Chain A
Amino acid sequence: MSCNTSVTRLCVSSVNEAQRAPVHLTPCEIEHNGPAQVSQYFTATTKNRKQEQTVSFRGRCLRGQELSCPQGYTGLVLKEINKPGSDQEDRTVKVSSVFDKLTYWNLETPPNSDDTVVMAMDWPELAEAIHGPVED
């Protein structure tokens, strides 16, 4: 772990150039960093039934649903421009795409309100209540 003497900079201007992109949160970790044929393999075989979506990935059944980012928030996909050689150097990331909703997938379990990522979206509202300015 770095001892945090380095600074990570975000190129804010890149937000405006960033395209809106579909984002999927999968219940597995894929050891792959790079482009993938998502629309050809994944989107093309996804089935929609009411709120719930089903698809299979690597022969396993996934069930998912769309989830919006909390009000007032935008999701960012960040990409590091030049990977530094050591963890002491400053880092620069730019926004490669933005999203205001994502599809998250469970392995076989139907999506429900107890799913971690759904519950995680409670925080911004609660944070606002706790930390926000007090008005009267």
Chain B
Amino acid sequence: MDLSSFEADNSSSCRLASHIPEVCRTEDCCLGIDEAGRGPVLGPMVYGICFCPVSKKEDLKDLKVADSKTLTETERENLFQKLDEAKSYIGWALQILSPNTISTSMLQRTKYNLNALSHDTAIGLVQYALDSGVQLKEVFVDTVGPAEKYEEKLSQLFPGIEVTVRPKADSLFPVVSAASICAKVARDRVVKDWKFAEDLGEVDTDYGSGYPNDPKTKAWLLKYMDPVFGYPQFVRFSWSTAQTLMDSKAATVHWDDDDEETGEKAAQRQNNRSMLSYFSASAGGKDHNPTRKTHRFFTERRLKSLNTL
């Protein structure tokens, strides 16, 4: 697994894939989908697919793949090695969603929530397998949301493919376990060796599991908070853990699409004369001559005369 293309720019989303086994282009195949790193406040979320001919299901089972969560890191690495050695009939692909992608999607003006992002990523990976010529007949998906609706959605999108969506699918279907191992191995490696794009010097990598309730993660989040910028891009800003910490310890930031602030409060704040107020038509306000309206040329450009700083 070569992670260098993601590491070259770990602020974006990145797809990694194995070679497509020739047999997967000619024989009916099954495919499993699972994700790793949905809950942590740190690092990427990784979506994985794994596929093989339906006729090879038993061989896959014999590799003794299991739900990645029940395995140790070493066991996962060993199993990934085995999957890789079986590349004559097993293929995989991953979509690494960087923490920055997660933050900027979830905090977008028109919110793009994690479930929608997850579904779109999974769909994108299935489409990738189809576009690569894999003869998909069965798809097995692990889900955290309501399984039935998701199953219906996928079945409609991919007619002719039998879609099975189940909670805990990673422990029910070996091909999903295999996908979960690929995803988890990638996530672990990326987190362990995170290249900070920020210029932070030596960074303490003892950030624990990345889960919000891990004391090590909490301590790390406190240590690496910047009063202005908040966090490096390694942190998911859209997680309430990060937001709560910033609310209490970092400078407050106001955006024009904030909804909790009333117009009056915003106007009051503008009187504190931010940089922006020099371009604002409403700031100050008192020095307007009420009988003469400012020409649209100026209001459109938020230009006004200043007689005091």
Contacts and interface: CB of A to CB of B under 8 A. Distances in A.
Interface of A: 1-2, 4, 8, 25, 27-32, 36-37, 39-42, 44-45, 47, 56-61, 78, 80, 91, 93, 107-108, 116-117, 119-120, 122-123, 126
Interface in B80-111: 100, 103-104, 106-109
A90 B302 CA distance: 28
Interface in B173-227: 197-200, 226-227
A43 B251 CA distance: 19
A59 B123 CA distance: 25
B200 A40 contact: yes
Contacts of B227: 32, 36
Contacts of B256: 27-28, 107
B271 to A, nearest CB: 8
A60 B308 contact: no
B199 A120 contact: no
A57 B308 contact: no
A116 B257 CA distance: 17
B21 interface: no
Interface residues of B, number: 47
B226 A41 contact: yes
B149 interface: no
Contacts of A61: 104, 108
Contact of B199 (A39, A56, A107, A119): A39
Given A4-B307, A27-B256, A36-B228, 20 more contacts: A1-B284, A8-B309, A28-B255, A29-B254, A29-B269, A30-B252, A30-B253, A36-B227, A56-B103, A59-B106, A59-B237, A60-B103, A60-B108, A60-B255, A91-B309, A108-B109, A116-B279, A116-B301, A117-B279, A123-B301
A29 B199 CA distance: 24
A107 B253 contact: no
Contacts of A44: 197-199
B104 A36 contact: no
B238 A32 contact: no
A29 B274 contact: yes
B300 A119 contact: yes
A42 to B, nearest CB: 7
Given A27-B256, A28-B254, A29-B253, A36 B309 contact: no
B30 interface: no
Contacts, number: 112
A41 B229 contact: yes
A123 B303 contact: yes
Shortest 3 CB-CB distances between A and B: which pairs? A59-B237, A59-B103, A32-B251
A113 to B, nearest CB: 12
B252 A58 contact: no
A27 B309 contact: no
Contact of A120 (B100, B200, B303): B303
A58 B307 CA distance: 34
Contacts of A37: 226, 228-229
Q: Which of B197, B233, B275, B307 has the most CB of A within 10 A?
A: B275
B32 interface: no
A116 B299 CA distance: 9
A68 B229 CA distance: 26
A34 B254 CA distance: 17
Contact of A40 (B198, B237, B307, B308): B198
Contacts of A80: 309
A53 B301 CA distance: 23
Interface string B147-189: 0000000000000000000000000000000000000000000
Contact of A116 (B300, B307, B309): B300
A119 B300 CA distance: 8
Interface string B280-309: 000010110000000001001111000111
Contacts of A60: 103-104, 107-108, 237, 255
